[in-house]
Structure 1
Amino acid sequence: MAEPYIRHVQLLGFEKRFSPSQHYVYMFMVKWQDLTEKLVYRKYTEIYEFHKALKEMFPIESGEISKEHRTIPHLPAPKWFDGLRSTENRQVTLADYCSSLLNLPTKISRCPHVLNFFKVRPDDVNPTANTNGRKPETFLLKSENAKKNVSDITGPIILQSYRAIADYEKNTKSELSVKASDVVEVVEKTENGWWFCQMKNKRGWVPAAYLEPLDSPDESEEQDPNYEGELHVTTKGYSGDLEDELNVEEGETVEVIHKLLDGWWVVRRGSKTGYFPAMYLQKSGDAPSADVNQKKSLPPRRRTISNANSIHTKKRTEISQETYRRNSKKYLKQRQSTFDNMKSMSIVEQNEMENKAQPAIPPRPSKKLILDKCSEHTKNKIQTVN
């Protein structure tokens, strides 16, 4: 019988668990030599301890003796506290680490230490039950190569649950109607402000503005503002209905400074800032999306839901439009100042080159001076000619 080995390890995403305390575990689909696929869960601290032990087992390949001989991939040390954002940002690093690990020589990639780490454990099949009844929240990694059909897994994939903060009546067949306090499971999140959800045996698109996490998030799901701006091109013109929305024609270039979950992004055009629908924006340099503007109508903005009722006592403070404009002006001034400094430096350098002392042209010597410098032989010849 052939010795067991791992053909492939794929990171599927991570889970937020609440028992015995809140923590995060990564989900790996492990494909073995007999083509069976097993789903295993590992904390990042476990992965890092495994990595440290592997380096001790192979000191040459870990670069302990000579750095130029290192082949074992690097892995950052865990932080003293891992939140949602750091757990999410680490996924690419982990996916690359697993891929590099299995491409190492067989003495490393098929050693007992590697095989035992990725074997199914009892808690992979039967995780610790939550005493408070809260289900784990699953965050799936977006990947074009992610497998859609898994033939042999050790446990179910549980999606992240959200609660509706107000009634929403669907406008098309592809949407899903929800009532306030309904709990839905989010299957897919898109940047345009529409999330694909399921509730019991129904599925459909729901505006993200109508949904909030069941648990008050310890970190905001939205990115922080980027006042440097990210260039986007408008794929469709829009005239704002509200005073804080920006009027932009099709084909114009704007700078996105804050991406919001409800699908209404804060953009800057020149010195003006305002909200603009994300579904009418395309990142500069990217090819047009095949389904652009075909999915559905504009999603409602979060601030337009007048009867919203959050279950969280402390709501996230939204950034005012005045704050966006003030910080945006500060950055524009800073950028203009940098440009002016560079321009002034080039002018100074140019002036310095112009004012730099040029070598003087010596005056033409007089006939007497030339004769004085000549030899007697030359003087005699000159006198003979004259």
Structure 2
Amino acid sequence: MDLKSNDKGIVSLKGLEYGHYKIEEVKTLWNYVINKEPIFFDVKENGQVIKLEMENKKIRANAELIKIDSETKRPLEGAEFELWNGEKLVGNYTTNKDGKIVVENLEAGNYYFNEIKAPDHYEINQDQDLSFVIDKDGETKTVTAENKVKTGELDFTKTDVTNGQNIEGAKIEIVGIEEQNKHVKFEFTSSLAGNKFTLPEGKYEFRETQQPEGYELSTEVGTFEIKGGEIIKANLKNERTTGKLIFTKTDVATGEVLEGAKIKIECLSGLDKGKVIEFISSKNGNEFELAAGEYKISETQAPKGYELTTETGTFKIGEHGEVVKCNLTNKKFEIVKTGSSLDVNALIPFGIILVAGGLGALILSKKRKLS
């Protein structure tokens, strides 16, 4: 027969006949463990009163919360939670270095975790369902909570150290150096408009892996920090690849350095393409620092008393610190005599000057690097 205990936990049964009996629990309260040990007894005497006792223990179980990064699944330390059983606060807990909270010996009930403080650099997440039910003795209920890392904006520019203008074509590498962003590592090419990125909070290093054409590779390792949703600006500068031109203007016959010639240098390729430099030759020669590229050099006006050199030469600056020596020669005007009785001075008032044609020469020396 089936019997049920009253509100005092008592089961009464009268009128049992003589015999051997067994009592077995088939159902208990929702928050208790069924006692599977049957009780045996014997009725041997008329009017005998037999008292029996059966015990039930409460359901006890454990709860585990695992806190992870929503993107990398890395465990997160330092998140703070409340644990509630219905409307009753069980306690406050903080995730350990493994991202875990373990609460033991919980009674049966309906529970939920509520996040009250996110780990550093992460957004608090109160929208997840972190509820669970304890209804089996000895079990461990596990819930997983995720957090998104906070982000900010990086505005990166690559500029010419000389004029501050943006440079395109440099390859840049950015690497995260903190726990919450060390998975971030990427390379990009600089653009004239700059480069913008949304990045997780934290500190970063950036370096140039390939320089733009016409520039030296920057060996600088820069750092920046993304925090608080701010727009962070980062910049890396490049020095132009430059070399030196040493120019001399000389007499083709004597090697004497000449001053007063007008010379033009035109850049044919490189960062200064189209740029023209015009100068007057000096007794001490002329020196110029030039950006890498190809150049054309010519004479536009000869020194006084010399033929105009029509020779046009080219040279190239290819390496940083390279030195190119360039020499243009001129030949003096000569008066051609047609006879011993010719009076040259007598011809000048009539606007007649007799000259022998003679072109100068362009000489470029072998290139060398600055020591």
Q: Indicate the TM-score class for this superposition, using the shorter chain for normalisation.
A: under 0.3
Query: Taking structure 2 as the reference length, what is the TM-score of the superposition?
Result: 0.20
Q: Which has more strand, going by share of residues?
A: 2
Q: Which has more helix, going by share of residues?
A: 1
